[in-house]
Structure 1
Amino acid sequence: MSDPVDAEPHGDDTQVEVEAKAAVSQVDHAYDLDVKAEVADYKADAIAAEDAEHNMTVLEAVRAYPMASFWAFVISFTIIMESYDVFLINSFVALKSFKAQYGVLSNVLVNGKMTQEYVIVTKWQSALQVSGQLGALIGVFLAGPLTSRIGYRYAFITGLMLLNVFIFSFYFAESMPVIFVAQLLEGIPWGIFIANAPAYCSEIVPIKLRAPATQMLQMFWAIGSIIVGAVCYVYENVDGPHGYKIPIALQWIFPTPLAILIFCAPESPWWLVRKGRLEAAAKSVERLGRRSRLNSSETVAMMRRVVEMEKTEKEPSIVELFKGTDLYRTLIVCGVYAAQNLTGNLIANQAVYFFQQAGVSDKLAFALGLITSALQMIFVMLSWILTTYFGRRDIYLWGSLVNTVLLVALGVAGSVGTSAASNYATASLGLIISVLFTLGPAPASWVIIGETSAIRLRPLTTGMGRASYYIVEIPCIFLGSYMLNPTGGHLAGKCGYVWGATGLVCLVTAYFFLPEMKGRSYREIDILFNRHVPARKWKETEVDVQDDE
């Protein structure tokens, strides 16, 4: 039998434990209520911010976020770096001073007559064109982890400073192998720019401005080609090394001023929210928009809602890009990027050389290249209206269809024999294809790339997508160079049959798998992907404002 004296303290201890547990339970309950209240508060704010963005017109969005538009403009300027050098190296194979320095004498058809001219042999022509892409392929894989760690701003600045250094190696190169290495090194920062620019531009603007903000990338690609076209047109008849070294040196104009501007730019508020820096995100939102027209706390709450939906315990990794619905999203980004090389884009990138092989004079070829670039810039600006008001999917599909038909027509024009009329027809179709590509598929693809990926995986997804672009582009460059080069296939316009066939494959694939994301918030896009809604039914599917799955 137990001692009654010992039993008394035992009873007291039990009572204390009960009271302690009750107190803890009350604290836990109060904490749960606080958490639920906080979630309810920021969800209400998130809904208010999302509704505000949905209800904005395009002009209202510009007025509410004037600095967001400005900083998207500044970041898009980095694309000139890659565009300038890609078009420059493609123009070098047609530039008299460069061909005289590094080419070999070969029989060439000019205006229907065979004549001897210096030509860059096929292997080096292809090697120079892929060298920058190989470097960019390295750069895009560096961009994702780098950006996830240090942010968009410092990733851009790092790339610009590296580019300043690598231009030296290109300028002072005196042999084809050294030029190849120099181009490869320059490609590394290009990869950082091209992977991050669409992601940053899509994250700093409201829903109604995502299309024009990301399509500016295509406009600056065209501006880069215009600058190259003008420079090469001026230096086309300049003999000696200065004829190609001065165009190389002009690259130094851009990196340092851009780095200073980007240092002053706000960080993406989405990136800051992903890092849990909510106050910094609010300040970034205030720098992007007018305080009188928006509520930064509500906007941050909207971002936080999406980030919480996507949140996992693991850090973002490349492996995640190939799991679940993220695999579908990755494939869309990769497919749209790859399709740029399979639907005749290489004709635009090799415009001057294409015109030469179509049988027109060198002077006219450079003039047509410059006209092509100028028209591309105008048509990109027209595409802002199309994709903003008519959507992404329809513009992409109809543009790809027209492009495929014109490519087949180009093949027909190149098959009817060599005459002045057929040469001009081939050159004209090449110009039309290059220009119309920038009205439909090209600018629409930048919007799709910026919108498709999950927020937490965005730097990795855009990097992987651009990697697929280079992986497809490199063999296409060899194929395109072989088809056009007099020492290769010498197909001229008949290459339209090849690009028309690959363009048709891309068109059919896009019809079944490319969804319409016009007017959708990132929350709605996440939900529609998670619900496995078929691509052709996105436009008619509604998502409730309260849904959080």
Structure 2
Amino acid sequence: MEKHEEVTGVGQEVSRDEKGDVVQIDVTRDITRAEHELGFRQALRQYPTATFWAMFFSIAVIMSGYDGQIIFSFYALPAFQKRYGIPIGDGFEIPAPWQTALGMGNPIGQVLGALASGYPMERFGRKWTLAVCCVWSVGFVFVQFFASSLPMLCAGEILGGLAYGFYVVIAPTYASEICPLALRGLLTAFINLAFVIGQFIAQGVAAGLEGREDQWAYKAPFALQWLWPVIILIGLPFAPESPYWLVRRGRKEDARKALEALSSSKNKPDIDQVLLGVEQTDLLEQEFEATTNYLDLFKGVNRVRTEITIMVYLIQVIAGNPLIGYANFFFEQAGLKAADAFDMGVGNTALGFVGTITSWFLLNYFKLGRRTIYNTGMWVMTLLLFIIGFLSIPTNNQGAIWAMASCMDVWTFIYQMTVGPICFVIISEISSTRLRTKSIALSTAVQSFFNIISTIAMPYMLNTDQANWGGKAGFLFGGISFFCAIWCHFRLPESKGRTFEELDILFHRKVPLRDFKTYDLLAETELEKVQTA
């Protein structure tokens, strides 16, 4: 569809399609105002099934969090160490090269899977792409479970990781496209909780099996991975498809049915108005974007949007998060006994769970902005990393070791309350709806690529037969975190309370990023209408 005339603001009739019909952007002023006025509790009453299905799709992310954590937990698991490790002192240790190879399986698969997710998600939709990935996961868990050697296990991790790359793109994309503005923050932040749940289960399973000396100490955790895809495959046929995807495919009536299925039968919103808002957002973005390929992510204002989505996701890796993945091993290397290390690891993920729940209250009860929560978390996390580094300077000091381990737990709590969940809110809001799949896919791929780098580096940083940094790694990550916090201060906009259409216009007008919070498009539109009357 060819468009003419410039789109200048919310509520203005300024665009015509090739038939000469007026694109009804003027109507969206009332839709936008209604979105702003819709409260959290009212939104839950109107969209209970949307809330359920967004959380249901997040089950897939539990698998990604579980697999990424369990393989690192094996490095501190005595049975796994004895079976595959080499003698070090009085015990065994998995050699650093094999730790690197095993740990790289999941992120390598995620890079490839995330980049490959764009086409099937746009061609076949969100739910059927997820269904195929679940079948894929069931198959390659067999490879991990029956692996007779470390090379075979590595192959299973890489091939299984392909599906995880899809999962972490599908879940936030779907959640952001099926829920109203009032629920968008909670349901996209829930993606992070799914990661934490996966990590928590992995830590609990590893701690529960830590005392076993047979092969089931590491085979049983692999077998547990068959549970999640089966649950998803049972429920997926009943899930509504994304209304935004259906509108882009020209299936307006199917989009209407999806919206009806996502809303309450008793407290139903105005489906026609909601559908019109979806259509007008798509038409507006067609004004800005003639095509929807990966190159478009780096054209015009999309370049800024891509920078933001990549950075907020990348910061998860480069600003200290790898220490969470190596929590058990890190605690052991810091001087704790194996049992104490696993207990601290479980406590670490439990605090992460509580932290993510707390982020919901920051978003919905205290109504703090995304930028405020994210930036505050960055500065507190930076300080804690430097404290961990300084605590590592005294040698053989049990008090300092426990203090350092406790700081790791506090860091995890702050991270999972701020940067962890808010990242998924931001990447789901900042990217345009037409490029969202590819934007989240590219961000996931970049994050996973740097996760590969950290996976290579961490064993050499922490292992006793290598650099043996221990807590001194806090200095490195603290320095990186400081510069990331500076970037956030200048480059991270506030997207709280903005519809997708409003964000499109703010970026298109090149409004300074730090002014997004105060720029009033609706009031401006009313003023323009008075002046032209």
Spell out the pairing of 1:18-417 with structure 2 (5 A cutoff). 39-40=23-24, 43=25, 45-107=27-89, 116-291=90-265, 292-311=267-286, 314-388=290-364, 389-417=367-395
**Structure 1 residues 506 and 546 mapped into 2: Cα distance closer, same or farther (>3 Å)?**
same
**Gaps spanning 5+ residues in structure 2: where?**
1-15, 526-533
- Are the aligned partners of 2:23 and 2:280 in contact in 1 as well (CA < 8 Å)? no
Q: Identity rate of aligned residues, in percent?
A: 32
Q: How many Å apart are 1:241 and its aligned residue? A: 1.2
AA at the equivalent of 1:244: Y
- The aligned residue for residue 12 of structure 2 is none
Higher mean alpha-carbon deviation, 457-466 vs 261-270, is at 261-270
The 3-state SS of whatever aligns with 2:494 is coil
Distance 1:33 1:252 in 2: 49
The 3-state SS of whatever aligns with 1:486 is coil
Higher mean alpha-carbon deviation, 136-145 vs 380-389, is at 380-389
- The aligned residue for residue 464 of structure 1 is 442
Distance 2:165 2:238 in 1: 22
- Are the aligned partners of 1:202 and 1:450 in contact in 2 as well (CA < 8 Å)? yes
Normalising by structure 1, we get a TM-score of 0.90
- The aligned residue for residue 24 of structure 1 is none
- Are the aligned partners of 1:46 and 1:300 in contact in 2 as well (CA < 8 Å)? no
- Are the aligned partners of 1:407 and 1:496 in contact in 2 as well (CA < 8 Å)? yes
Higher mean alpha-carbon deviation, 354-363 vs 475-484, is at 475-484
Q: How many Å apart are 1:253 and its aligned residue? A: 1.0
- The aligned residue for residue 507 of structure 2 is 529
Distance 1:405 1:480 in 2: 21
The 3-state SS of whatever aligns with 1:78 is helix
Distance 1:192 1:315 in 2: 22
Match of 1:437 among 398, 401, 415: 415
The 3-state SS of whatever aligns with 2:55 is helix
**Structure 1 residues 98 and 61 mapped into 2: Cα distance closer, same or farther (>3 Å)?**
same
Distance 1:168 1:520 in 2: 45
1:509 aligns with 2:484: no
Distance 1:475 1:37 in 2: 53
Distance 1:268 1:491 in 2: 47
**Structure 1 residues 45 and 406 mapped into 2: Cα distance closer, same or farther (>3 Å)?**
same
| CA radius of gyration, larger in | 1
Distance 1:34 1:323 in 2: 25
Q: How many Å apart are 1:487 and its aligned residue? A: 1.8
AA at the equivalent of 2:308: I
AA at the equivalent of 2:234: I
Q: How many Å apart are 1:37 and its aligned residue? A: 6.6
The 3-state SS of whatever aligns with 1:190 is helix
- The aligned residue for residue 419 of structure 1 is 397
**Runs of 4+ residues deviating >6 angstroms:** 32-38
Distance 1:242 1:382 in 2: 36
Distance 1:251 1:33 in 2: 50
Higher mean alpha-carbon deviation, 514-523 vs 46-55, is at 46-55
- How many residues of Structure 1 are paired with residues of Structure 2 in the alignment? 507
Normalising by structure 2, we get a TM-score of 0.92
- Are the aligned partners of 1:73 and 1:216 in contact in 2 as well (CA < 8 Å)? yes
**Gaps spanning 5+ residues in structure 1: where?**
1-31, 108-115
Q: How many Å apart are 1:77 and its aligned residue? A: 1.1
- Are the aligned partners of 1:344 and 1:434 in contact in 2 as well (CA < 8 Å)? no
Q: What is the Cα-based RMSD across aligned positions, in Å?
A: 1.8
Q: How many Å apart are 1:290 and its aligned residue? A: 2.1
Q: How many Å apart are 1:293 and its aligned residue? A: 3.0
